Amino acid sequence: MFSYNDLQVIDVVARRGSFSAAAEELHKVPSAISYTVRLIEERLAVELFVRLHRQVKLTPAGEYFVEEARKLIKQMELMRLQTQRVANGWSQSVSVALDTVVRESRVNTLVRDFYCAFPDVELHLSMEVFNGVWDALADGRADLAIGATAAVPVGGAFDYRDMGTLTWKFVVSKDHPLANVEHKLTAEELVQYPAICLEDTARTLPKRVTWIMDNQRRIMVPNWYSALQCLKAGLGISVVPTHMAIPRIESGELVEKQLVNKPAVSPCCLAWNTECVNPALEWLLAYLGDSEQLHREWMR
């Protein structure tokens, strides 16, 4: 109904308070400004301005129209700017999936530094478990994954960076019946107690469970925070990432026990969709660093 020029004329007339002043700012003649305003009023079938001797004053309808017109002008400018940015490789948002094994304390620093570098790009974070990380990449819900298992279960336009291996410790509550056992524990001894397991967040890929004995009952939890709470309460047993277990072992909350069959180490990696590369994603890849830095900052 109204062009950008129409809205701009109404905005300037309202701000300057006269047709002549608006004409001066817009580099037009006063008659052209007056004509544009009259055409808009005819389309609306209302008066936007009360004409005084050398000035104009907004009517109540005019005040409403100007308020809405300024919103539209701002949206048009934003749309123009973002269209130009997209043409130059800019993205409105970047999505990062983090496996729950990574250090959560590192996430806050990542978010702060990202927004310092890209104040106008949204950073979308999601916490995933096991194959849920790859699922998020394969489905396009994530552009980048931190802490993904290196055993890639999907094919596609992905690239990788090694993050080293994740080691595990078997722990129980200090009051658990197994806490005082001195010998290495066998599967027959472990199967008597529920295994605390994280629920794989994969939606389409097969779900995985990291550690469980045959015919062992399970307590399914959504994340490592819940798993640690269940462990401390003595509700079950589990293996925990070493960097999460050590502080709780040192504080006496949990007790480490040795197993006959040690849990296998888990190779991890940084993975990203090469078809979604943009300046913000390139910055993240440079910021996260090489394999040694990734392991030191996110897996220890």
Angle, CA of 73, 75 and 80, to the nearest 5°:
95
- Rounded mean pLDDT of 135-143? 90
Domain 96-165+267-298: CATH superfamily is: Periplasmic binding protein-like II (3.40.190.10)
Fold of the domain built from segment(s) 4-87? Arc Repressor Mutant, subunit A (1.10.10)
pLDDT grade, residue 146 (50/70/90)?
A: very high
Lowest mean pLDDT among 111-115, 151-155, 208-212, 237-241: 151-155
Quote the Cα angle for 136-142-145, to 5°. Answer: 85
Q: CA-to-CA distance for 48 and 51, rounded, in angstroms?
A: 10
When pLDDT is averaged across residues 99-121 and rounded to a whole number, the result is 91
Q: CA 188, 190, 193, 196 torsion: positive or negative?
A: negative
Predicted local confidence at residue 47, as pLDDT: 95
pTM score = 0.68
Ramachandran area for residue 157 (φ above 0: left; ψ -120 to 50: alpha; else beta) = beta
Structure confidence by residue, pLDDT tens digits, 239-260? 999 999 999 999 999 999 999 9
| pLDDT per residue as tens digits for the range 25-51 | 999 999 999 999 999 999 999 999 999
CATH of the structural domain 168-264, one choice from 3.30.200.20, 2.60.40.290, 1.10.4160.10, 3.40.190.290: 3.40.190.290
